[in-house]
Structure 1
Amino acid sequence: MVASLSFQTRARTIDHLGREQIADCPTAISELWKNAYDAYARSVSLNIYDGDFQVATLVDDGHGMTITDIEQKWLIVGTESKAVSSELSESDKNGIEKVRVKQGQKGIGRLSSAALGSLLLLMSKKKNEKFVACLLDWRLFENPYLMLHDIQLPIMEFETRSELPELLPSMFDKLMGNLWGDGLDSGRDKRVEAAWSSYHEQELEEGKDQTTKELIEETVIDEAFSERHFESWPVWNGKSSNGTAMIIGNINDDLIAQLSSDSGSELEGSDKRAKENFQQTLASFINPLTREGENRIDDFEYRVIAHNGSMQRDAISDARSFGIEEFDQLEHTIEGKVDEQGIFNGRVKAFGVWYEDVTVKPKVRYKTRKDTRFGPFDIRLGTFEILKKNTSLSDVLHTKLLEQTVEFAGLMVHRDHLRVMPYGRENNDFFEIEKRRTKNAGRYIFSNRNIFGGVCISKYGNPNLKDKAGREGIIDNKASKLFKEIVENILVDIADRFLGRYSQIRVDSLAELNKKHAEEKASEDRKKLLKKEQNRIRAAINKNTPQLTDILLEVNELVEQLESRLSLNSQDEIIQIRHVVTDLQGRLKELSLSPIPKSLGSVENAYREYRDSELNAYVLIKNINTSLNESLEKLTVKQDIDIAEKDFRSKAAVLHSKINKYATEGRSLLKTELSRFDEELSLANKRFHKELSNYLDDLAAGRTDLATVTNRIEDEYQKQDVKINQQFKPYLTAIESIRNQIDLEGLALHSLNENSSLKKEVERMNSLAQLGISVEIIGHEIEGIDMTIANGLSYLKESALDAKQLEVLNSVLIAHQSLSDSWRFLSTLKLSGEKIKSDISGHDIFQYVKNFFGKRLENNDIEFNCTDDFLNLSIFEQPSRIYPVFINLINNARYWVKHTECEKRLINIDFKNGKVIVSDNGPGVDIDDVDSLFTLFFTRKQRGGRGVGLYLCRMNLQAGGHDIYYEKDPANKVLEGANFIVSFQGVERSE
């Protein structure tokens, strides 16, 4: 006789399928979120609460369950998903019109809740139905001696929220019957007691401090769950009429770690890993890289909320994901579709440049059956260059992306836009990206640590790509192997063609980028250097101004003393005064701020005041030295060699003082080059003696005179002073620049390149300027139009007009005459018009300029005149080359004279020593600006200045062999303001 037997299932089977089967806590959460998605929830959240007994709640606003649903579906392991899907009514879809692709496949996802905590209160409510609650402790299923059918879970219905507190104690007592029995079935009671007795003994033998039974018995349900926890459920707080809630006690340590508000380096060990794992797993639970018009999920929200007291903090949120806007900022991306033959069609972005209609074919032609095909899928992934020198991104964006790699990087897989675990985690290398990089990182440029996005499959389009039961990836079958191979082939091919070491696009792009970064680095270095110099000058002015003021006072006192005396009769006295002057001169040189950058910014006014005081002191010292030398020559000499040696020692002392100062600063900056530095100092110290020793010997032997030697000493002193500055100051400046991380070589190279570019730009601007003004281009047309208007107005004037018409006509005639006069002035200024030369007198120039500016000079109360010498000069030249120069010079003078504080405002043109001098009594040109006066685009005008006029004046004059420059020597000036000297070739005087 053949007997029949059936499988007997122990309770531990549930623990195997649930807590032990699921990969980890975040994966369990993702499974429960997918259940909420299948229930047509619009939102789901995991709430984690602090307290003596930490609690988590996983709540949604899905269609909910009745007591029958829990009994016949939730508590039945392996529910057939397709059957469940077909039973959904329209009301269960919560008003969501789009049909959701069901994610549940094996009917065991609900068991994932065991991975979150041991104690579970399951509550649910369907629309227009009662609340239903079920209480269970997952630790019951850890007992290997207990049969599954002997575990009975308490389940109850209730109408209102207020009933639950009264029901929980009785439900808990019913749950405890699974430890002690409940007296309703003596056979079950004995089996339960025996099973727990055996398990208790086993755990004690294993050395456990507390057995599972003791831990379950210690649970106090009233202290575990409170109103604070229930309020997180939308049904409980009245925001929804349906949904499901899991209230979980004795929660997993990974959940407790999320309560910490610390991040980054503040976290340590397991807590840090737990938070990172949560972020990597759940941050992109829904595919965030979808565009408008694509089939994306936009009716489902998810969150992980940490509750610390009354404070709430989003630990995970769909709002904190790496979205399509961030993705589009990446410099390398791949977007497209892969068909059933494994052919990729789409577009690629490399270094910010898009390449359309890109195709990648598989290595071989795949032959698949229905049960081995992989199906079509989408791919959208991107990355960026980690090294800043190679990136096309801005520094800010590059830094931002580096920060986002910690939370969002990894090549993910989404099925119907919901995350497939564990793809995208740092430790997952399903597509063997990191494995390839270990072989050749330059070629295989993609890296799990800085790749975003991934591939998107579908349940119906890729039916053979199924998840493993424990959600540890896709089942390893032929379809998954082909799927993996195709993705790998696309990554390698795109890298070879567009991004990697073998790509010409990369070679060309990096050349451009490296050049760009070099220019940016040079620009930054210039800014740093300029800022450093401005700070140096500002600090030096603040530090040196009191000393400069003291020196100026001492020099003025010395001048007053010398002026009060009619003569100096003692050589010793003169030598003593010269010693004082030399000391003052040395102290003054120590306070010099040079070299000075062209742009001083906010410190410019302070610098000019300081510089003026310094120059004033130098002028006074120069005058004193001149007076002393003249007085010394008049006296009867005692010993020329004594005088020369005293002068020599005086100046040598100043030089030694300066050298010692540089020595001190140099040694502090150049420890590694100390021997070289000392050698240079030694040579510098000896150089003054070496250069002058022959002269001192000649004087001692009577081969030369005192005046020659003292002048030579003074000249050599000035020369050596300059040489010492040139030798040591740049040396110190260079070391300081290196210390401040200023790339001098790169700066010099960029300056050289920039100088070359600027030269070409100046040539282009000069060519453009020589085209002349627009009047030249349309001159003939203007002349014809002017004649037509004139004839028409003459005709109207002779016509019979009433008084009003005649008044209007007279106004038009006056306006036309003014316009005609202005046009005639402009016609003379044409730069490239007729090259006809004629005799031009000073009188012609003066009258032309006076007529042009007459009214404006009168309105500005400016007196404009010239000398007879100028009126009588004569030049044989093109008028278009001469008149614009004087128009520009007088116009500039008119602008600046208006700012003078003199009672009379004067502009004068003179002719002396064969040169024309255009002068005014305005503020003049600052000495630091003189070298830039004739530079293109240089101007100091507050309004209306373009910095072109003087540049064109010089270019225009030089074309005819003439020249123009600014007179700096006050002794050669006609008026105390600006004085421009025009030197004409072939100028003559006519009587």
Structure 2
Amino acid sequence: MANFKTRARALDLLGRQQIAGIPTAINELLKNAHDAYADRVDIDYFRMRDLFILRDDGMGMTKREFQERWLTLGTESKVKHRKSLKPRVDETKSPRISMGEKGIGRLAIASIGKQVLIVTKAKNIEGITVALINWQLFEIPGLNLEDIAIPVQEFKRFPEKSDIDSMKEQIIQSLTKLKDSDELSQGEYAEIKSTIEKFDICPKKFNNKLIGKFPWEKPEEGGTFFYISSVDDILHSDIDGNSKAGEATKIEKMLMGFHDTMTPKHPAPLLEIVFRDYRSDDHEYKDLIDKQEFFSVDDFELADHHFEGNFDEFGQFKGMVKIYREKTFDHIVNWRGNNFNPTRCGPFSINFAYLQGVQKESIVDAVNHAQIYAKSKKFGGLYVYKDNIRILPYGDSDYDYLEIEKRRNQWFGYFFSYRRMFGVIRLSEEFNSELKEKAGREGFIENKAYRQLREILKNFFTQLAGDFFSTDESSPSPKAEIWRAKRNEIKQSYKALEEREKKAKERKKKFEDALNSFFISQKEDSLPETIDKLLKDINLDVKSIYSEKDHDIASQKLLDIESRSRQKIDNFRKSLMIPAPRGFYIKGELKRDYETYMEEMERLDSIVFSDAYKKIDEIVEFTISDLAISISKRRRLEQAVESISDQAKQINVEKRKSVTESVTDINKRVKSLTSELMIDLDDQIRLVKDKFKTVSISSEKDIDLVATRNSLSAEINSVSERNTAILDALIRQLEGIYWEKDANNNYITNEQITNALGDELEELKERVHTDVELSQLGLAVSVIHHEFNSTVRSVRASLRDLKAWSDVNEQLEGVYNNIKINFEHLDGYLNLFTPLNRRLNRKAEDIKLLEVKTFLIDLFKSRMERHNITFKHTRGFARAKLRGYRSSFYPVFVNVIDNAIYWLNDSGEKEKVIRLHADKDNNIYISNNGVGIAIQDRKKIFELGFTRKENGRGMGLHISNEVLESVGYKLELDEPREGSNVTFKIAVANENNG
């Protein structure tokens, strides 16, 4: 009698060669963790160590369970039979539907790497089971399963390197036997032996270093760890993806959305999954399963359209359709594909959202639309979940299993795009048991149940497109009219806003150009030259009077010259005037520039222009005295008033003319529009009447006459309703023209109100964005606090140890002090942002400023020498001291000097100098002769985020000032000292300022 024999290659064929790829293999391991009632799965991939680790906190396995379940293929966990193994259940948790069936998941490990170390502990059982498997052996032709040795051992503690080395030796011994019996060639033997010997790891030590602890100290704790080495290089490209921006990588496509987390009221995820990719060393990593990258409930609810409901056992849909988040319909979609007989696929539910592809057709604001659209490009699609576990590859944006994009290309009027929809199809083992996954996890087996599922969904989307999103106006759907009308309304509003924004941008550009021109003229100091030239012209005009012998004529000429001169100064002042922003909102740097301009104009008025007017008065008074002519003060005043009045009248006449022309133009356009609308309506009525002539009443049935009447009246009503809507909008605009005089005789217009509301809206938007950023920063900082707490304690302990050494070793003293100061600096910064609830063990002390300079020389010596920068200090600086913490003051000096070096190097100066000085009040001055700071930047340099440095972050001066203020000092920009262009001052803060 003969028997089947199983070659070892059968495992390779069923596992590595069967599975779709590494991402799918990882997904299978996640499903195994789910079946083991795990709550957490941590994945750590160390590229430099060629090591992939997956850990879960599931039920784990005893040695017997590992041998009878894990090492046994085709276990009967889902087959009801007296010999079947009972499903493993954690009675402390809610029951879970098992996702594994064929044992493919464990074999899929071979596609990740060539060998795996498995460390597992069963809950409530003592003892840790360890096994080492080399998958290369299963690729060798001619070997039977019984020829391959798999060391399995049980320990009372976590395994160490010596334990693993012993197991490696067992495999190598079995290899040697296979080679000696000619089952392995010398080349095969050498290659596999080399792989085994390279596996150099101590699980105990390595496990203590990993982030995210899985303690096994207590009996009730357990789990399973996989240490996979000689990782396949394809994993790098699966993680990194290609160079196309915005495209999801294979890992992201397969592992994002393991549970449904996007739909409102979704089931609570059973597994918390982390995938850390250590690219260079064992400290810095990237989390590949970033929840922020995937769709959230907020994204779902923000989308334009929503569809939710159930398909019954006959394939008929009944549910809700919401268009533009406003109009909700109870909707039914029939399917006749199975002649209303029960389907093989069974009942299921659907819930998905849809985003209009063009922002000007969407009700989603621009920022959120861009974010959701970007996510849709990466992760858009309909995800299939069975008992809240994702079934691959459904949901992959490249796997259009419902052929939505195909129909979109073939049918011009087809609405849906696969990448713009995101949502879920929910299945369950209870009702959809005939939908079975392929062995390679490439979707469902294409049996009758799956074909019915696809046909039901294809029919569903086709019907939805026709019922709600048809663009065919010849046979309009009443429900589609809702979408078309709202879309047109949004497009028109968007167009109006676009036009308004275009004009606002033009105004804003002119405003910015005017500000820049003003600051350039200030920088070039051309204003005094212009004033001087005007005054010289006045002097020349006055000298011409000296030749006039008639005193009355001379008097009048002098008055005329005075009037013209004042007018010239006024005109020049007006040329510098920049009107307040109208029709656009200024913020941030531009707003600060405008405030600086206003301050500068106030200064010019009080000094420059005031002096110019005084000089004109002096010239006139001197001329009167010199020529001994008599001019009445009343006459001078009267002429001045007349001149101003004439000018004011001229300006107002011009504006009145412009207003009258605008009113005439609007009146003309309104009349033209109303005439055009009436003509359109008249043409439509004539067209309908012409159609009516062709209708044969005698041959039509009554029901057809009603339909015809409705159709003809609808054509007239559509034009009438359009005209009415336009005219109503026009009336609202005209009625919106508003003005009113207030108690101070000032007029308030609707434009001022609109601008004020616009400014308030923009400020609120900015505040919302700031609040969101701050909340995100707060979350990040809380993580930093949590992760750094133990690290900070460890560094402090090491510093204490190093202090003991430095006390007996002079060479170490400088190193210790440098590390201590920089650590306190870092710790001080962390204290600014986190509620660490701890006191630093540091004491205030008298700090000699020469010690500060020595520290700065040590730090910047090489850079200063490289850029030929001289570092000087005064006697006052040498005598002065600071009272406080070195870690508070040193970083401030470092930041200011670092900035000085940068701008000195950028200045092109031959003799570059940084000078330190202190006065008798212990105010400290740091000066340099590099690039000066522009007028408009004087206040901004201390604001967070402001910088003129290329690739700068604008944080240094802001944080420095914050640190100083926390210890009673302040950092400010002072007037440049002699020989310098920039001077910073460190001074004791004014008590009134807190």
TM range (shorter): 0.5 to 0.7
Cα offset, 1:226, TM superposition? 4.5
Query: Does 2:72 match 1:72?
Result: no
Structure 2 match to 1:325 = 298
Deviation at 1:523, TM superposition (A): 3.1
Counterpart in 2 of 1:746?
none
Aligned-partner Cα distance in 2 for 1:84–1:125: 28
Partner in structure 1 of residue 108 of structure 2: 112
Task: Give the CA deviation at 1:40.
Answer: 0.9
Tell me if the contact between 1:332 and 1:384 (Cα under 8 Å) persists in the aligned partners: yes
Matches within 5 A, 1:81-96: 81-82=77-78, 92-93=89-90, 95-96=92-93
Distance 2:376 2:398 in 1: 14
1:408-439 deviations in whole A, cap 9, x for unaligned?
32222111111111112232121112211222
CA distance in 1, matches of 2:493, 2:251: 40
Deviation of 1:144 (Å):
1.4
SS at match of 1:56: strand
> Cα distance, 1:383 vs. partner?
2.4
**CA distance in 2 between partners of 1:179 and 1:429 (Å):** 47
Are positions 1:102 and 2:98 aligned together? yes
Instruction: Indicate conservation of the 8 Å contact 1:41/1:94, yes or no.
Output: no
Structure 1: gaps spanning 5 or more residues? 182-188, 202-210, 261-266, 625-717, 727-751, 767-887, 897-924, 926-931, 943-991
- The residue correspondences of 1:731-746 to structure 2 (distance < 5 A) are none
Quick check: 2:41–2:273 contact (8 Å CA) kept in 1? yes
Cα distance between partner residues in 2 of 1:271 and 1:47: 25
1:482 and 2:443 correspond: no
Following TM superposition, by how much is the alpha carbon of 1:196 offset from its aligned partner in structure 2, in angstroms? 1.6
Question: Partner letter of residue 182 of structure 2?
Answer: A
- Note if 1:196 corresponds to 2:184: yes
Alignment partner of 1:553 is 2:531? no
Q: Report the 3-state secondary structure (helix = DSSP H, G, I; strand = E; otherwise coil) of the residue aligned with 1:119.
A: strand
Cα distance in structure 2, aligned partners of 1:755 and 1:562:
62
Report the secondary structure of 1:59's partner residue: strand
Within the candidate set 136, 156, 161, 1:159 is matched to: 156
Match of 2:495 in 1: 518
Question: What secondary structure is seen at the aligned counterpart in 2 of 1:444?
Answer: coil
CA distance in 1 between counterparts of 2:15 and 2:471 reads 47
Q: Is the 8 A contact 1:124 1:243 kept in 2?
A: yes
Aligned with 1:54 (options 41, 50, 57): 50
Is structure 2 residue 9 aligned with structure 1 residue 9? no
Compared with structure 1, are the counterparts of its residues 367 and 385 closer, same or farther at alpha carbon in structure 2 (3 Å cutoff)?
closer
Deviates more, 1:392-401 or 1:42-51: 42-51
Q: Which amino acid aligns with 2:445?
A: I
For residues 734 and 149 of structure 2, the distance between their equivalents in structure 1, rounded to whole angstroms, comes to: 92
* Equivalent position SS for 1:488: helix
CA deviation digits over 1:217-252, x for unaligned, max 9? 343266245545434585556487211111111112
Alignment of 1:29 with 2:11, yes or no, is no
1:81 Cα deviation from its structure 2 partner: 2.2
Shift of the 224–599 alpha-carbon distance from structure 1 to 2, 3 Å rule, reads closer
Q: Of the candidates 271, 275, 279, which is equivalent to residue 304 of structure 1? A: 275
Matched, 1:458 2:413: no
Q: Is the 8 A contact 2:20 2:440 kept in 1?
A: yes
Q: 1:170 aligns with which of 161, 166, 172?
A: 166
Unaligned segments of structure 2, at least 5 residues: 473-479, 583-593, 621-649, 659-726, 757-994
Distance in structure 2 (CA, Å) of the matches to 1:320 and 1:598: 42
Question: CA contact under 8 A between 1:533 and 1:597: conserved in structure 2?
Answer: no
Q: Matches of 1:442 and 1:583 in 2, distance apart?
A: 73
Residue pair 2:363, 2:490 contacting (<8 A) in 1 also: yes
Structure 2 letter corresponding to 1:396:
V
Supply the distance in 1 between the matched residues of 2:213 and 2:560 (Cα, whole angstroms).
Answer: 97
Does 1:389 find its partner at 2:360?
yes
Query: Which position in structure 2 is the counterpart of 1:357?
Result: 330
Q: Residue 399 of structure 1 corresponds to which residue in structure 2?
A: 370
Corresponding residue to 1:245 among 225, 228, 231: 225
CA RMSD of aligned residues (A): 4.8
**TM score, norm. by length of structure 2:** 0.55
Alignment-derived partner of residue 735 in structure 2: 760
The answer to whether the 8 Å contact 1:336/1:378 transfers is yes
Contact 1:283-1:321 within 8 A present in 2 as well? yes
> How many residues are aligned here?
623
Q: How many Å apart are 1:582 and its aligned residue?
A: 11
* Partners of 2:160 and 2:601 in 1: CA distance: 83
Aligned to 1:427: 398
* 1:465 partner amino acid: L
From 19, 22, 39, the equivalent of 1:42 is 39
Task: Give secondary structure in 2 for the equivalent of 1:223.
Answer: coil
The 1-side partners of 2:217 and 2:568 are apart by 89
Give the secondary-structure state (helix, strand or coil) at the position aligned to 2:10.
helix
SS of structure 2 residue aligned to 1:78? coil
Say if 2:115 and 2:133, in contact at 8 Å, map to a contact too.
Answer: yes
Greater shift, 106-115 or 345-354, is seen at 345-354
Residues 37-70 of structure 1, C-alpha deviations (whole Å, 9 max, x = no match): 111111122211233x311111111111111112
Task: Give the greater-gyration-radius structure (CA).
Answer: 1
Instruction: Decide whether the 8 Å contact of 2:42 with 2:56 is kept in 1.
Output: yes
Q: Percent identity?
A: 27
Letter of the aligned partner of 2:136 in structure 1?
Answer: R
CA-to-aligned-CA distance 1:483-531 (integer Å, 9 cap, x gap): 0111122222222333453432332122111122123223323432332
Taking the aligned partners of 2:550 and 2:183, their CA distance within structure 1 comes to 127
- Residue number in structure 2 paired with 1:415: 386
Give the partner amino acid of 1:378.
S
Rounded to whole Å, the distance in 1 between the matches of 2:182 and 2:239 is: 40
Deviation, structure 1 residue 358: 1.8
CA distance in 1, matches of 2:268, 2:87: 19
- Aligned partners of 2:304 and 2:364 also within 8 Å: yes
Q: Kindly report which structure 2 residues correspond to 1:257-276, keeping only aligned pairs within 5 A, or say none.
A: 268=242, 276=249
Shift of 1:7: 1.8
- Residues 389 and 154 of structure 1: CA distance in aligned 2, closer, same or farther (over 3 Å): same
Written as runs of structure 1 = structure 2, the 5 A alignment for 1:404-803 is 404-440=375-411, 442-448=413-419, 450-499=420-469, 501-502=471-472, 503-541=480-518, 543=521, 545-546=527-528, 548-558=530-540, 560-561=542-543, 566-567=548-549, 593=575, 599=581, 602=595, 757-762=732-737
Q: Structure 1's 360 and 534: CA in aligned 2 closer, same or farther, altered over 3 A? A: same
Q: Residues 717-754 of structure 1: CA distance to partner in whole angstroms, max 9, x if unpaired?
A: x99xx9xxx9xxxxxxxxxxxxxxxxxxxxxxxxx999
Partner of residue 259, structure 2: 286
CA separation in 2, counterparts of 1:135 and 1:271? 41
**Conserved? CA contact 1:45–1:304, under 8 Å:** yes
Deviation at 1:152, TM superposition (A): 2.2
Aligned to 2:347: 376
CA distance in 1, matches of 2:467, 2:576: 55
Q: Taking structure 1 as reference, are residues 280 and 397 closer, same or farther at Cα in structure 2, changes over 3 Å only?
A: same
* TM-score of the aligned structures, taking structure 1 as reference length: 0.55
What residue in structure 1 maps to residue 808 of structure 2? none
2:108 partner amino acid: S
Structure 2 Cα separation of the partners of residues 355 and 522 of structure 1: 32
TM superposition shift of 1:268: 4.6
Say if 2:346 and 2:432, in contact at 8 Å, map to a contact too: yes
Deviations 1:554-610 (A, max 9, x none): 3542464356564489x9xx99x9999999999997986499757477557877999
Q: What SS does structure 1 have at the residue aligned with 2:182?
A: helix
Structure 2 residue identity aligned to 1:193: S
Q: Distance in 2 between matches of 1:124 and 1:483?
A: 40
| Residues 933 and 316 (structure 1), Cα distance of their counterparts in 2 relative to 1, 3 Å cut | closer
SS of structure 1 residue aligned to 2:736: helix
Q: Distance in 2 between matches of 1:606 and 1:78?
A: 85
Tell me the amino acid that sits aligned with residue 485 of structure 1.
E
Deviation string 1:146-192 (CA, Å, 9 cap, x unpaired) is 1222212111111112x5433322211221244221xxxxxxx58x7
Q: Aligned partners of 2:751, 2:438: CA distance in 1, in Å?
A: 73
CA distance in 1, matches of 2:598, 2:162: 83
CA distance in 2, matches of 1:420, 1:160: 38
CA contact (8 A) 2:238 2:250 kept: no
